[in-house]
């Protein structure tokens, strides 16, 4: 915080989370964990169906690749959700009596069910593609908004009995289970019942999210006086920073809307991936980095200035401008004031932690299915088995192991171990690209070839499945640790904006350098790309170690037990 004395809530946030399986047993007697599991499912199902299964239906219906590319822009809602994250601080009308968080959840879930039903009735092979596109866009927006609210709820309801580490793991389990149901499960259903019936069932399964919302307790609202404490410095400085931030956000929103309109009206349509790669860093810089710098200036100048009238009067509202400041800039001011120069380490960790996976993600299927540069040449059916089914199960196992580690060895140790594993497993893929001399020898020596062969799996596919097992277990482990870290880093009063900013940064950074990697693959093959990805992972390991040291020093400064 920006006050000289650290509040008790922040002192508690810096203390290590409870460890041991006793916490797990106690927590699963809590309705919050069941609610978290169902809400995680509610978040993962629309993600799988709107960004994966829908594309499969469009392809099956003979829709052109260009049109499918146009529809891919709906994924941008998730990457830029921080732009409207302050809005969830308001209570929506009609359903508002359920409480601020629960009413937003119910509203989003109803919209998502309606969007899936509209898609089910649209029949993409006919002229109803416009209806389908509109339903997909509405669903993607509602899904991103639901993510903001779920993340905020998780941060706000966590306590010593049900720590944020445990809730984050349960959320990941629900999300990945929904990805399996909405991905591989939906494809099986489509073969048996048809695409429309599959999306109708998907809409019905959103009822599990509604059940989670009804079970979930409503968090207590933060006192206005506590939020008003972030109105530091002179009113002129605050309002100038707010005006610049609003201008930057308006520009970012304009760029997004312009791209969406262009994608729907111009042929050939632009690529959402190219837009994110070119303009994503600029949008994040203007809409996140610039406001963070302004917040840092407010903290720096505010420490030298006398408290403003609005701050000294507690929670007294001084107008619409202060309300906007509280919603948009106060979360960043609180964060910068709490972290100080440690914000540089935190930013570096967030930007690099998942880049080792994200940077080569678009090249995964060319690597699995291609036949040049060390690519593996597998069929679509083999990839569906190895990546979309077996791989998802391995990810769920990794998440479970990550949750166990969070409770037993602690958050920072788990975060560091996850970063190291994610970096190291790139070497498994490198070995595949070089002909699998190490993996092949290991499987021969241990008899794993015979084990896989008993299930009718060929040796090349068995090697791929072993590499995917290692990579996805590491990815699930790291994902659980990363979500727990970001959740703990967010202040309960400002979780909506802070967590949305964190996740947007983590999502978009992987787009940088992909063009250069594509050229590298053409020149040197896939093995060189995996070596670079592994080295990028080492950078994340270094930032994790630095952040661990920073937290230890901070606890010592506050006189807490290390």
334 Cβ neighbours under 8 A, 6+ residues apart: 1, 2, 230, 491, 493, 494
Contact assessment for residue 497 and residue 328, using Cβ atoms and an 8 Å cutoff: yes
Give dist(CA 191, CA 206) in Å, integer: 21
User: In the prediction, which pLDDT does 313 show?
Assistant: 46
**What token pair was written down for 451?**
């084990």
The enclosing H or E element of 252 equals: helix 235-265
The enclosing H or E element of 69 equals: helix 65-71
pLDDT, tens digit only, all 562 positions of the chain: 444 444 434 444 444 444 455 555 655 677 889 999 999 999 999 988 988 888 778 877 777 666 666 666 777 787 778 888 888 888 887 776 888 899 999 999 999 999 999 999 887 765 567 788 888 889 999 999 999 999 999 999 988 888 888 898 889 989 989 988 888 788 888 888 888 999 999 999 999 999 999 999 998 877 766 677 777 878 889 899 999 999 998 998 888 778 877 776 777 766 666 776 778 778 878 888 898 889 889 988 876 444 444 444 444 455 778 788 888 888 888 888 888 888 889 988 988 898 887 767 667 767 887 766 667 877 777 877 887 788 888 998 999 999 899 988 989 999 999 999 999 999 999 999 898 999 999 999 999 999 999 988 899 899 999 999 999 999 999 999 999 999 888 888 887 888 888 887 777 665 555 555 666 777 788 888 888 889 989 999 999 999 999 999 888 887 765 4
Which residue reads 């309606």 in tokens? 114
HSE at residue 216, side-chain half, CA atoms within 13 A, is: 33
pTM of the model: 0.80
**What phi, psi does 83 have (nearest 5°)?**
-65, -30
Contact assessment for residue 275 and residue 73, using Cβ atoms and an 8 Å cutoff: yes
CB atoms within 10 A of CB 15: 13
| Angle between the N-to-C axes of helices 186-193 and 195-205, in degrees from 0 to 180, rounded to the nearest 10 | 130
Q: Dump the DSSP string for 120-179.
A: HTT-TTTTTHHHHHHHHHHHHHHHHHHHHHHHHHHHHH--SSS-HHHHHHHHHHHHHHHH
Give dist(CA 78, CA 86) in Å, integer: 15
Q: CA geometry: angle at 33 spanning 339 and 151, to 5°? A: 40
User: In the prediction, which pLDDT does 548 show?
Assistant: 95
User: In the prediction, which pLDDT does 494 show?
Assistant: 82
Contact assessment for residue 66 and residue 268, using Cβ atoms and an 8 Å cutoff: yes
Which residue reads 């002179």 in tokens? 234
Q: CA geometry: angle at 241 spanning 238 and 243, to 5°? A: 105
Please choose, from the candidates 368, 358, 365, 387, the residue with its C-alpha nearest in 3D space to the C-alpha of residue 514. Answer: 358
Please choose, from the candidates 327, 322, 329, 323, the residue with its C-alpha nearest in 3D space to the C-alpha of residue 295. Answer: 329
Give dist(CA 182, CA 550) in Å, integer: 41
Give dist(CA 86, CA 500) in Å, integer: 10
**What token pair was written down for 101?**
């968080």
User: In the prediction, which pLDDT does 216 show?
Assistant: 92
Contact assessment for residue 63 and residue 129, using Cβ atoms and an 8 Å cutoff: yes
User: In the prediction, which pLDDT does 562 show?
Assistant: 45
What residue spans of 457-525 are helical by DSSP H?
A: 459-489, 495-508, 514-524
Q: How does 196-206 read in b/e, with b if 16+ C-beta sit within 10 Å? A: bebbbbbbebb
User: In the prediction, which pLDDT does 517 show?
Assistant: 65
Q: How does 523-542 read in b/e, with b if 16+ C-beta sit within 10 Å? A: eebbbbbbbbbbebbebbbe
Please choose, from the candidates 276, 379, 356, the residue with its C-alpha nearest in 3D space to the C-alpha of residue 517. Answer: 356
Distance between terminal CA atoms of the chain? Answer: 21
Q: 559, exposed or middle or buried, with CB in 10 Å at 0-12, 13-18, 19+?
A: exposed
User: In the prediction, which pLDDT does 314 show?
Assistant: 46
248 Cβ neighbours under 8 A, 6+ residues apart: 286, 287, 290, 291
Which residue reads 């905020």 in tokens? 152
Contact assessment for residue 146 and residue 42, using Cβ atoms and an 8 Å cutoff: yes
Please choose, from the candidates 274, 28, 256, the residue with its C-alpha nearest in 3D space to the C-alpha of residue 163. Answer: 28
**What token pair was written down for 262?**
């262009």
Contact assessment for residue 147 and residue 13, using Cβ atoms and an 8 Å cutoff: no
Give dist(CA 116, CA 54) in Å, integer: 10
The enclosing H or E element of 345 equals: helix 342-352
CA–CA distance from 523 to each of 358, 526, 527 (Å)? 21, 9, 11
């Amino acid at each position: 915080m920006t006050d000289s004395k650290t509040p008790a809530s922040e002192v508690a946030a810096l203390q290590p989370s409870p460890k041991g399986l006793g916490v797990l047993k106690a927590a699963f007697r809590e309705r919050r964990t069941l609610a978290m599991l169902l809400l995680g499912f509610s978040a993962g199902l629309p993600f799988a169906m709107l960004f994966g299964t829908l594309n499969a239906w469009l392809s099956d219906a003979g829709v052109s690749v260009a049109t499918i590319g146009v529809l891919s822009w709906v994924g941008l809602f998730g990457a830029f959700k921080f732009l409207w994250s302050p809005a969830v601080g308001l209570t929506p009308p009609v359903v508002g009596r359920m409480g601020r968080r629960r009413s937003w959840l119910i509203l989003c879930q109803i919209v998502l069910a309606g969007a899936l039903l509209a898609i089910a009735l649209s029949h993409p092979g006919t002229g109803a593609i416009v209806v389908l596109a509109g339903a997909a866009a509405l669903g993607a927006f509602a899904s991103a908004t639901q993510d903001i609210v779920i993340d905020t709820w998780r941060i706000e309801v966590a306590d010593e009995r049900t720590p944020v580490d445990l809730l984050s793991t349960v959320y990941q389990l629900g999300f990945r289970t929904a990805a399996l149901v909405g991905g591989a499960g939906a494809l099986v259903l489509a073969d048996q019942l048809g695409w429309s019936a599959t999306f109708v069932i998907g809409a019905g399964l959103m009822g599990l999210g509604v059940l989670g919302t009804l079970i979930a307790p409503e968090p207590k609202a933060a006192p206005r006086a506590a939020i008003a404490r972030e109105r530091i410095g002179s009113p002129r400085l605050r309002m100038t920073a707010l005006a610049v931030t609003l201008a930057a956000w308006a520009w970012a929103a304009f760029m997004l809307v312009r791209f969406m309109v262009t994608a729907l009206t111009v042929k050939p349509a632009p690529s959402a991936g190219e837009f994110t790669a070119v303009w994503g860093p600029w949008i994040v810089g203007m809409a996140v980095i610039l406001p963070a710098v302004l917040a840092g200036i407010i903290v720096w100048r505010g420490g030298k200035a006398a408290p403003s009238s609005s701050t000294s009067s507690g929670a007294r509202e001084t107008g619409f401008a202060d309300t906007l400041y509280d919603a948009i800039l106060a979360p960043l001011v609180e964060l910068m004031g709490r972290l100080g120069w440690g914000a540089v380490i935190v930013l570096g960790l967030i930007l690099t932690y998942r880049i080792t996976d994200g940077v080569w993600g678009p090249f995964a299927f060319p690597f699995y299915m291609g036949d040049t540069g060390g690519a593996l040449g597998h069929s679509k059916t083999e990839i569906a088995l190895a990546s979309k089914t077996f791989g998802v199960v391995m990810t769920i196992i990794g998440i479970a192991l990550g949750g166990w580690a969070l409770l037993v060895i602690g958050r920072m140790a788990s975060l560091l171990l996850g970063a190291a594993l994610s970096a190291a497993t790139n070497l498994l893929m490198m070995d595949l690209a070089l002909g699998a001399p190490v993996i092949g020898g290991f499987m021969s020596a241990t008899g794993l070839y015979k084990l896989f062969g008993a299930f009718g799996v060929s040796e090349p596919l068995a090697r791929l499945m072993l590499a995917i097992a290692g990579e996805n277990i590491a990815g699930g482990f790291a994902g659980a640790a990363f979500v727990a870290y970001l959740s703990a880093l967010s202040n309960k009063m400002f979780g909506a904006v802070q967590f949305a900013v964190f996740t947007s940064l983590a999502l978009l950074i992987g787009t940088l350098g992909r063009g250069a990697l594509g050229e590298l693959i053409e020149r040197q093959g896939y093995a060189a790309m995996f070596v670079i990805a592994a080295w990028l992972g080492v950078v994340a390991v270094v930032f994790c170690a630095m952040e661990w040291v920073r937290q230890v020093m901070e606890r010592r400064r506050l006189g807490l037990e290390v």
